[in-house]
Amino acid sequence: MGIRLDGAVAIITGGGGAIGGAQARLLGASGASVVVADVDLTKAEAVAADVRAAGGLAIACTLDVRDGDRWAAVVGVAEGAFGPVTALANNAGANVRVSFDEQTEQMWDLIVGTILTGSFLGIKAVVPSMRRAGGGTIVNLGSIASTRAGAMSPAYGAAKTGLVGLTRSAALSYATDGIRCLLVSPGHVDTPFLRANTDYSPNDATTSLDEPANYASRVASTPMGRLMTPDDVARAVRFAFSAEAAAFTGSSLVVDGGAAM
């Protein structure tokens, strides 16, 4: 039997996506009650239905993580459905993979707003609920870009590096409340984030994993010789939320097959 999270109440942002969806399914199967929150309600509903079909407890709700008022409503919905929140995973992300010269203020606002401001607003929103619960755990989703500068998309590097500081700041601020905060940093994960052409993460032939050369180059830069899967990341997040990780706070779990070495 794997790690259990019975009694946990988790909000998973970007929960309709690949990495957030894998977390929702694994947490639900591990005994947690799950609020699947995403800007795309249709995708969130589908993931919540998967959790319920497997015998778990889940509801879906709309959340743009950049909207502080909406955050308060989502925490209220979670408390009403399942009780005080004990776990938050800030997965929602955005990226526009262009050079520093080409990156616009609008792209910066989208990327930093979703990743960094969105995670900040999420922490602010759940802490009172976690205090009512007697403690909790927050996971922010980092990246290789949390520790290594890339030539492309300065906003993504700034936001993912910023999460290192935000994670430590929250960990320090709330340690005596029994609230832990960790960064989980995936390497190259095969998801729509790197394949599809979405508003929040546009890809074309120069970037998409659909192009064999792009796929091969990400595999080549991963010492273990394979891309990560959403389930690889979900298992690390479940560990972070569990009693097994009771002494971890402010730290990073890197799930990258060695790519950031």
Ligand X SMILES: NC(=O)c1ccc[n+]([C@@H]2O[C@H](COP(=O)([O-])OP(=O)(O)OC[C@H]3O[C@@H](n4cnc5c(N)ncnc54)[C@H](O)[C@@H]3O)[C@@H](O)[C@H]2O)c1
Closer CB to ligand X, 38 or 249, in the complex: 38
Closer CB to ligand X, 131 or 221, in the complex: 221
Is 189 a residue that touches ligand X (CB under 6 A)? yes
Is 137 a residue that touches ligand X (CB under 6 A)? no
Indicate which single residue of 23, 119, 153, 191 sits in contact with ligand X (rule: CB under 6 A). 191
Q: Which of positions 11-70 make contact with ligand X (CB under 6 A)?
A: 13-14, 16-20, 38-40, 43, 63-66
Least CB distance to ligand X at residue 259 (A): 10
Is 194 a residue that touches ligand X (CB under 6 A)? yes
d(CA 256, CA 261): 9
Exposed, middle or buried, 30 (CB in 10 Å: 0-12/13-18/19+)?
buried
Closest Cα partner for 85 from 119, 22, 30, 134?
A: 134
Closer CB to ligand X, 88 or 133, in the complex: 88
Helix axes 154-174, 105-112, angle to 10 degrees: 30
d(CA 174, CA 178): 7
What's the first-to-final CA gap in the chain, in angstroms? 32
Indicate which single residue of 188, 236, 238, 260 sits in contact with ligand X (rule: CB under 6 A). 188
Least CB distance to ligand X at residue 186 (A): 4
Least CB distance to ligand X at residue 207 (A): 11
CA distances from 21 to 39, 110, 129, 215 (A): 13, 22, 23, 22
Closer CB to ligand X, 16 or 84, in the complex: 16
Report the residue number whose CB is nearest to ligand X.
17
Applying CB under 6 A, the site for ligand X has a residue count of 31
Q: Which helix (H) or strand (E) element contains residue 130?
A: helix 118-133
Catalytic site includes residue 156: yes
DSSP for 12-52 reads EETTTSHHHHHHHHHHHHTT-EEEEEES-HHHHHHHHHHHH
Catalytic positions: 156
Q: Where do contacts with ligand X occur on this chain (CB under 6 A)?
A: 13-14, 16-20, 38-40, 43, 63-66, 91-94, 114, 141, 143, 186, 188-189, 191-194, 200-201
